[in-house]
Structure 1
Amino acid sequence: MCLALFVMHTSVVIVNYRTASLTYDCLESLAKHVVGRSDVHVTLVDNLSGDDSVSQLQSAIDDRGWKSWVTLMPLDRNGGFAFGNNAAIREVLAADAERKPDYVWLLNPDTLVREGSLEKLIAYLEANPQCGLVGSRLEDPDGTPQRSAFRFPSLASEFDDGLRLGLVSKVLSSKTVAPPISNTAVKTGWVAGASMLVRREVFEDVGLLDDEYFMYYEETDFCRQASLVGWYCAYEPASRVVHLVGQASGVTIRNAVPKRRPQYWFDSRRRYFVKNHGAVYSGLVDVAWAVSYASWCVRSKLQGKPSYDPPKLLVDFVRNSVWMRGVTT
């Protein structure tokens, strides 16, 4: 372990919403690597869970002797994922110069930190001064990697996502949002916010996360805003973090009957495209996805293919499109 890496101060931000047991396990995994260190501090935000999360987590912090490295921040309303992260980020960035962090590590409550995961992220940023954000390799508990480095969504990628036709997917492979998983560090458009280390200077240049996104697309948008002012984003697979997919949100749980997609997902998607590409382009994207997905639905019925999509997805999509809802969210 290279002790020279630890001269940089890192603020870890975790947002809990009714996932106290998952959050406790996340803290337990962090404790193995940060207890006794003065360069890492965790701000644990509770997004007005409305259950006994705050009392459970505060008791755990007290009983386990974690007060020196964990601060619990209960909020008085649930403004969403970006809102919860911003509450903590705003406070740590306002600290005096000696306590102001060099890095902010956004970490989901449904994660478990592997040995050296933070150090590998810091090492990458230290070696690449133009890189403003870097994400970990997210993986299943058995070590199977998950796709966690992405291209920015576009008209072509949305058309391919809806159509699901092998030949078209091959032609549009360079536009696919989720490229094949890389075993080496690479530049990328954006990384999953489940484990993303951000330079303090990126917040100074871009501002905080856009908390008009309740959940989903906030990290996509943030990475895009950073790229527009000259910071690139990278994926560092040497940093490994277990991600219990969908356990915190309940939306993308694998190997389970899919739930109807929530309203806030559609609101966030619409906001991302309108904010970054304008109303006309967003309308074209919506047409491309809806038409291609309708084609897939017909084809899958005729071919007897099973569907793993959320119920009423096409109806909900059309109802929430730019041409039905307008450009506001």
Structure 2
Amino acid sequence: MLAFFLKRLASLVFTMLVVSALVFAAFEFTPGQMATKILGPFSTQDQRDRLMEELGLHRPVWERYFEWLGNVLSGDLGYSTLYKLPVNDIIWDRLGNTLTLAAIAFAVMVPLSVLFGISAGMREGSKLDRTISVASIVTTSVPEFASGVFLASIFVIGLGWLPGTATLEAGARWPIAAQLVLPVTVIVLYDLGYVVRMVRASMVEVMTRPYIRTAILKGLTFRDVILKHALRNAMIAPFTVILLQINYMITGVVVVEAVFAYPGFGRMLLDSALSQDVATVQAASLFAVLVSVSTQIAGDLGYMMLNPRIRFS
């Protein structure tokens, strides 16, 4: 397992280096365009030339890349032209807000998806199975912005029970807990159906295995068959899928954060990209790749722990 972990860690480092080079080149391969992005389209050529000289943009790309990479490794993520602050002063607060939202949504989504998936898979073709399957398909097929608008129309405009935005301002009319209800609900609804179907499919497959029939013929109760024999084996494949949802909940909830004006990581990345805030986009892109690769490694390690055939092969 140690060799596997070291191999994955080396892969993570290599992936980060490749992505960092591609991200840097995408924004700074042409210094003239870089200066135009900072000063705006109405700047003069003389102003752009002076800025390029000041920032050292006349130097070769590879030289500027290694200087930027050294600054990133030392903790200097650059200066945000959109927020007029160092990127370090922005990205961690926004990331903390998104982690709060993701943690709540994950804590709600995982138990519900496992419960519904197992309930549907225990008795394939039953009314409960068909109901859960149809509901899962419906919730997954509805985009986040559509479900967000739909829920807001009911609970914000129609009933007035919840706020329509989640600015996380403690002194606002609504408490922070109430502001988080709709964003969390939208994320859970969109993500729940996919995980439920994965758990159900795995449970259906396990229930047809010979050792399940043997356990039933030995006289074990249906509850013991599910809890002691079927559950662990059914969760091997969905475990990786569940962990991969962490990547979506941290870096992929741009739509949800935009709909509810949530000051999170995804909305920061969107605003920075629209405003051509190069330093913030570069830092956020690297972190998004880090989260994606790290969750894949964690999923592979968890899969090995659950499946002895992989662990000892």
What's the TM-score, normalizing by structure 2?
0.28
Structure showing greater radius of gyration is: 2
Choose between structure 1 and 2: higher helix proportion.
Answer: 2
Q: Which structure shows the higher strand fraction?
A: 1
